[in-house]
Amino acid sequence: MVFNPFSEEHELFRQQVRNFAEKELAPHADAWEEAELFPNEVFKWAGDRGILGAHFNEDCGGGGGDFWMSVVKAEELPRNNSAGVTMGLLVQSDMATPVIHDIGTREQKEEFLRPAIAGDRIAALGVSEPGAGSDVAGLRTTAKLVGDEYVINGSKTYITNGTRASFVTCMVKTDPNAGARGVSIILVPTDVAGYSVSRKLKKAGNWASDTAELFFEDVRVPKRYLLGQEGMGFIYLMQNFQSERLVGCASAIAGSKLALDRTVAWGRERQAFGKPLIKREYWQQKFVELYTKLEAAKALTYKAIDAYNEEKYVKKTMLSMETTKLVSMAKAYVGDVNGEIMDQCVQFHGGMGYLEDLWVARAWRDARLLRIGGGATEVMRYTTAKIMGL
């Protein structure tokens, strides 16, 4: 029997997200890429359609669905033809806010999560720093408790939605001498004194999403903005990272499938030496290989998603090391397959594939991020090796 995790409710949601991506977002993709920013209103558009919180509980404004709702969203958003738009929306719904949903107080959910689900507040996840990316335990941004306030000093970089976020789910060191056990998560509104966006970073791809460097100079926030317990931030984040990696995989697989299908369709029309280019045996062999790798990547990703969904949404337990291993394997493998597919699609198009005028050049440069963001491929393999006892 073929594994199909999607119910009628999932498929109805799929059609809703697809319509949103194709009809409301895609017509603007080229303009937003050129502007290197999509409008803030897009978050509100998505919120009004129930897209941002379909997998969150109803009591905080969500749709009450499971994690497969997030998978549907990640698979359909790439149809908007701008990976930057997809990334900005997924950071809002699946990277900066799930930890609030999981461990936040009722007051924190009302102040931060509910308006984020509605698209009324824009969220960013503040983890990476100039000297610490995948090595979260190496963070240097500090938060010192003074009376009833945390005083935050430090900086963050590579922060998606960073130029316009109204709050940052921020990783900080509350005990600088305790390594990973000294890491905490604090919600930081961006309208407080001492917070600043130093600059918008210019990226090789994902142009339509804003990525920024943030500074915190004696930023004061109430103690009640601490998420969960002090010193537990590393554990909270490692759980949160798994959903981020899985939606990234699902989105990349869907984007790769779209790219392959469009490339093959173009190859049926493109004539080379008297017959369609797709009729050349080399390219037939190559595309069979690529579609096969994509099916393998999807199967591994779905296995990891099923394990994640079972533990978090059905059993409501902490993620097991086996599930973390599957997620890490999927993130590394999908990144490699996604990169290979986009590279071969460019190659198949020849010289025109290298021109910004054609969609494939954008897809190629955008795809490169997956092997870095959310945990570099090398870190994913190192994590897998540790779990396997190697």
Q: Do 188 and 126 form a contact (C-beta atoms < 8 A)?
A: yes
As a residue count, the chain comes to 390
Tokens (6 digits) for 369: 């991020």
Q: Do 206 and 84 form a contact (C-beta atoms < 8 A)?
A: yes
Query: What is the full DSSP assignment across 145-173?
Result: EETTEEEEEEEEEEEETTTT-SEEEEEEE
- Determine the Cα–Cα distance for residues 63 and 69; give it in Å rounded to an integer: 9
Tokens (6 digits) for 208: 């339509």
Q: Do 84 and 157 form a contact (C-beta atoms < 8 A)?
A: no
Q: Verify whether residue 58 is a known catalytic residue.
A: no
CB atoms within 10 A of CB 317: 9
Query: Considering Cα of 329, then 331, then 336, then 337, what sign does the dihedral take?
Result: positive
Q: Do 204 and 365 form a contact (C-beta atoms < 8 A)?
A: yes
- Tokens 């080229």 correspond to 30
The values of phi and psi at residue 330, to 5°, are -65, -45
Q: Which amino acid, one-letter code, is at 126?
A: G
Task: Of 124, 35, 84, give the one whose Cα is nearest residue 365.
Answer: 84
Q: Is 369 helix (H, G, I), strand (E, B) or coil?
A: helix
Catalytic residue among 244, 289, 295, 310: 244
Q: Catalytic residue numbers?
A: 244
